[in-house]
Structure 1
């Protein structure tokens, strides 16, 4: 009987703690969520640091200082935030800012999705967002179909027409629509043609394929 009374007492006194937002560990539900979010940030520390380094250096829509100030409002533990910014600074100092690979982008997006689900801030994709994703996939398919003639076209432009160069084209490609890995593969092919001195113009058949592919891409996005 004594053991039963003790057990009942523990149960009764534990209820208000949970009702008030406490738990066995003494943490509130919000703190438990914050801890879970920190675990995900630590798992994805490298890709998050790369993401923000690219935003700062390549996209240029914010500075390191602005991001650091904004981060004060992030739901992220100070220790985790310090680690993120330390790694980010290493990447920036080494000039290592770059696009995320498709695998890294998937890891980043997956992490952000999990965080939003934990915090209850996830919003399902709108029809417009779903269409944009589908359009990008379709563009990628066409881009791969015409990649050989696209590479030859740009190698010719760089070496013969000389109205652009490899570095300038690479920089501009940051704004091109398409998957990172597909763009990287295209530029490897361009570089290969340049290294081999194989910079002839497109044949009539190749030009027709190239023009058709570009027209299909424009049709997907209804551009021009």
Structure 2
């Protein structure tokens, strides 16, 4: 396409679709949240494979803390915080690279684009980042930057995806952890499902508010087809 980068069309094949399914399961957290499954299947869960940092004993030999310690501030604490994020982003990008090698992103583009285009205005290859964003805010940021650097999405699509990610970041993780305190107070037939569904709906609502804003700024709706013929700028 004139003024843009053309994405190569490759035949996906069965391997690509299998890779896509495995990566979706991996980032979705389904395996990790299902206690009935054997522990060996944790290999298919992003958070389980990411693991945890070890704990450091306090000066009295009893209390524990992470390697960041407590009471840190300014640049030094910020540096340790950045080290905290490195494994999450690097590991997520590594999984995406493996999926891309087996044409998993091509499969996502073909399957998810007809759904994500009308809903949010973004191509199907962002689907894996969206799913990862339900568990990790850091992973989705790194994955979106990687897609933009490779020319697989436009700046507009990156903005829409950022708007989708901004509200209720790491939705499932936070809903099951921090939000669990409120579930006992809510008199709902399904106290966990209702707020979780509402948060996901509002993520799409927020992305479409940004979509309307961009349309107004541009003067007309932008029809970008990075999922089919190329990248328009």
TM-score range, shorter chain: under 0.3
Q: Which is greater in Rg?
A: 1
| More relative contact order, 1 or 2 (CA 8 Å, 6+ apart) | 2
Higher helix proportion:
1
